Amino acid sequence: MSKSISGFSKLSKSKKIDWIVNSYFSNAEDAKRVLKQYWNNNEKLQQLHDEFIENTITNYYLPLGVAPNFLINNKLYTIPMAIEESSVVAAASKTAKFWMERGGFRTKVISTTKIGQVHFMYVGDFEKLNQFFNAIKPKFFKDTDAITKNMKKRGGGILDIELRNKTNDIKNYYQLHASFETLDAMGANFINSCLEQFAKTLRSEALTFEMFSKEEKQIDIVMSILSNYVPDCLVRAEVSCKVEDLTENGTISGETFANKFVQAVRIAEVEPYRAVTHNKGIMNGIDAVVLATGNDFRAVEAGVHAYASRSGRYTSLSHAKVENGVFTFWMEIPMALGTVGGLTGLHPLVKLSLELLHKPTASELMQVVAVAGLAQNFAALRSLTTTGIQEGHMKMHLMNILNQVEANDLEKQTLTAYFKNNTVTHNAVIEAINELRVKN
Ligand code: MEV
C-alpha cells in the first residue's frame, strides 16, 4: 500500500531516497543501487541537475544522437537529437543525405509574434469598459517599463494590447489579449511578468475610474498567462526536386513514388485518425531537437496540435504536390523557441547542442527544428508507401530487445547478422538467443 508523507520536500536527497526505497520496493538496496548508478561523479554537475527541479533523486538518461548532412538554405548542419525511439535518428540522417544531393531544404520564418492574456470578470457596461481600457492603455506600457527595458533595447517588447469581449462564451468574461516580440528568448517569464503587471494596473485603475459604478470598479482577475498557441510564430520548411530525381536505387520510378507519396499526404489531410499518426512522425523529429536544445517540447507539442486543428478538423501539418514535373513537400508550423535564457545557458549538453548548430538565433533554430520535422515525415512516408515501416523499424528495435535480454557483444554480432535475412519479431529474437545460448 502507498504511504503518504508530510515535509518530504524538506528532507535531504538521501533521506528522500531512503523513504522511497523503503516504502515502495521489495528490495530497497537494489532500488537504491539503480538510482545511484545514474548519479554523476562530478558533484558540481550533479548538483546542477539536482537543482533544475524539485525532489530530484537521480538523473534520467536519454541518448543524444546526431544527424549530419542537413543542407538548409545552402548551409550544412549536423542536428542534435535527444530521443529514446530507435530509427528516428537513422531516418533523419538518411533523409538529410537524400535531400542534400537534391539541393537541400529551404526554410523561412514567416512571423515571430507570441501571445499572452489576462482573463478577467467585469460586471457592467461594455462601452464603459472599452473607454476605460483606451484611457489606461498607455499605462500598461508605462507600468511594465522596468520589465521591458532590456527587451526594448534589443528591438523586442510588447507589440499591442487589445480588449476582447468574451461574454458570448462566458457571462462577464473579458480578456486583455497582448502580443509580444521576445527575440531570442522563448519569452515565457518575460510575457508572464508583463501580464501580471497588466492585471495589477487593470485592477487598481478600475478602482478610481470615475465613470464606473461601485460594482464596475470591482474587476476580478481570474488569471494571467502566456498562450502556447502561437499561430503567428510560424516557420516554413520545404523540399522540392524533379519527379524523376526522386528515385534512389531504381526499385520504384520517381513518378510512382511521387504519386503514392502525395496520396499518403492527402489521406492525412482528410482523415484525422491518420493525421494524428502522420503528425506524430513529424513530432519525432521536432521534439528530439527541441529537447536537445533545452526548449519546452510540451509547449511546442500543444501549440502544434492546436494549429493542426485550426480549421475545426484535425489535419496534416505537411503538404505535397506534383506540378509541371516537380515534386514539392512542405510544412508550416508554429513554435516558440529560445536560444537564450532557461536551460540554454545552464545545461552543458544544451550548450554543446547549440554550439553544434552554429549558435543559432531563435529564428534560425525554428528553421532547423522545422526541417527535422519535415525530414522525419518524409522518411516515414517513404517507408510506409514503399517497403512498409516495420522492416527498418524492427531492425533497429532488434538492438533494444537484445539489450533487454542482456546479450553480450558476440551474441549481438551473431544475431544482427542472422536477422539481416530474417524477419525480426520479439519472439523470433528470444528464440534465436535461447538457441544460441544452448549451443554455447
Ligand atoms: C512512429 O514513431 C512514427 C510513424 O508512425 C509516423 C507515420 O506513420 O507517419 C512511422
Nearest CA to ligand 1 atom 3: 281
**Residue 85 CA: which ligand 1 atom is closest?**
2
Instruction: Output 18-23 pairs: Cβ under 8 A, ≥24 positions apart.
Output: 20/57
pTM for the full predicted model: 0.91
Å from CA of 133 to ligand 1 middle: 48
332: CA distance to ligand 1 center in Å? 19
Which residue has the least CA distance to atom 9 on ligand 1?
278
Higher pLDDT, 93 or 397: 93
Question: Among the atoms of ligand 1, which is closest to the Cα of residue 284?
Answer: 2
Q: Which atom of ligand 1 is nearest to the CA of 377?
A: 9
Whose alpha carbon is nearest atom 6 of ligand 1? Answer: 281
The three three-digit cell numbers of residue 60, written as one number:
534520467
Quick one: which of 223, 192, 197 has its CA closest to 118? Answer: 223
Q: In residues, how long is the chain?
A: 440
Question: Mean pLDDT of all residues in the chain?
Answer: 96
State the Cα–Cα distance between residues 51 and 133, nearest whole angstrom.
42
Residue 388, pLDDT above cutoff 90 = no
Instruction: Say if ligand 1 is within 6 A of residue 277 CB.
Output: yes
Burial string for 9-42 (b: 16+ CB within 10 Å, else e) reads eeeeeeebbeebbeeeeeeeeebbeeeeeebeee
The DSSP line for 250-316 is SSS-HHHHHHHHHHHHHHHHH-HHHHHHHHHHHHHHHHHHHHHTT--HHHHHHHHHHHHTTTSS---
Q: Cα–Cα distance between 346 and 294 in angstroms, integer?
A: 9
d(C-alpha 35, C-alpha 30), whole Å: 9
Distance (Å, whole) CA 104 – CA 96 = 8
- Per DSSP, the three-state class of 19 is helix
Asked whether 183 and 156 are in contact (CB, 8 A), the reply is yes
Helix, strand or coil for residue 172?
A: coil
By annotation, the residues acting in catalysis are 85, 280, 296, 393
Band (1; pLDDT cuts 50, 70, 90): low
Question: Which tens digits make up the pLDDT trace of 200-242?
Answer: 999 999 999 999 999 999 999 999 999 999 999 999 999 999 9
Q: Which atom of ligand 1 is nearest to the CA of 383?
A: 10
> What is the Å distance from ligand 1's center to 166 Cα?
39
Mutate to test the pocket of ligand 1, among 277, 278, 282, 331 (most ligand atoms within 8 A of CB): 277
Tens of pLDDT, residue by residue over 136-163, are: 999 999 999 999 999 999 999 999 999 9
Residue 368 has pLDDT above 90, yes or no: yes
Distance CA 328, CA 238 (A): 7
The reported pLDDT for the residue numbered 248 is 73
Q: How high is the pLDDT of residue 424?
A: 87
Which residue is closest in CA terms to ligand 1's atom 1? 281
Beta carbon of 281 within 6 Å of any ligand 1 atom: yes
Is 373's C-beta closer than 6 angstroms to any atom of ligand 1? Answer: no
C-alpha cell at 158: 510588447
What per-residue confidence (pLDDT) applies to 3?
79
Ligand 1 neighbourhood includes 274 CB (under 6 angstroms): no
